[in-house]
Chain A
C-alpha cells in the first residue's frame, strides 16, 4: 500500500526552537511538494522539488525556513528559529509515474508556544 509518510505527526515546541519535519514520498515519485494549512490562509504551497532539485520555494519565508531532499526517499522542512505564527499543519505531497495526481501525507501538526 503505497503512501506518503510524514514524521512527526504532532509537534509542540517553544518559540525559538528548531523544528525539523520529515517526509518519505511514494517510491518512484520524482516530485515532492511542501504545503502549509491554516484556518486563515488555507492550503499554501511552500516549496517543491523535482528529481531532488528545488524548483520553486517562493512561498517559503527564506530567513527561517529551509527545505531539502538529501535523497530520493527523504524530504525535510526545517524551521529555525520557530515562531508562534508558524503554528499550522504541514503537508508533504508527492507525484510521479507520469501522472499529475498529488498524493498527500497525513501532515505534521505544529504548535509553537
Chain B
C-alpha cells in the first residue's frame, strides 16, 4: 500500500463547476500537507500549504485536512479553463523535509 493514495481521475468538468480533489494517507507522522499544481511539461508549483486540521482558503481554492481520518481535500470554486492541470497532494513528516506525493489527478475544465 502506498503511503499516499490519490483519486487518479482523470476529471473533466464544465467551466464554473466546483471541483473536489482528494487524498488519503496512512502514516500519522505526516504533519504537513500540501497541494501542488503541475501544468504540462512544467515543474509542480505549490498551491496550498497547511499543517493543521481544518480548512484553509486562498481565493477560489480551499484545502481541507482531517487528521483523524487521514484525509485531505482540495476544493476549487468557479473552476476556469486555466485550472486545467494535474494536481498533486503531498505530505511531509517535518518542516523542510522530503515530500511524499500522491499519484496526481488530471483535471480538465471545459469552456
Contact = CB atoms under 8 A, between A and B. Distances in A.
- A and B from one complex: yes
Interface in B29-55: 32, 41-46, 49
A43 B101 CA distance: 6
Contact of B101 (A4, A42, A100, A109): A42
Q: What is the interface residue range for chain A against chain B? A: 20 to 34
Overall SS of chain B's interface: loop
B98 interface: yes
Contact of A102 (B41, B99, B100): B99
A62 B20 CA distance: 39
A107 B43 contact: yes
A100 B96 contact: yes
A43 B44 contact: yes
A67 to B, nearest CB: 13
Given A91-B43, A99-B96, A106-B42, 5 more contacts: A33-B98, A43-B101, A102-B46, A102-B99, A106-B41
14 contacts: A42-B104, A43-B44, A43-B88, A43-B104, A44-B101, A45-B100, A56-B98, A93-B43, A102-B46, A104-B45, A106-B41, A106-B42, A107-B41, A109-B41
Interface of A: 4, 31, 33, 42-45, 48, 56, 91, 93, 95-96, 99-107, 109
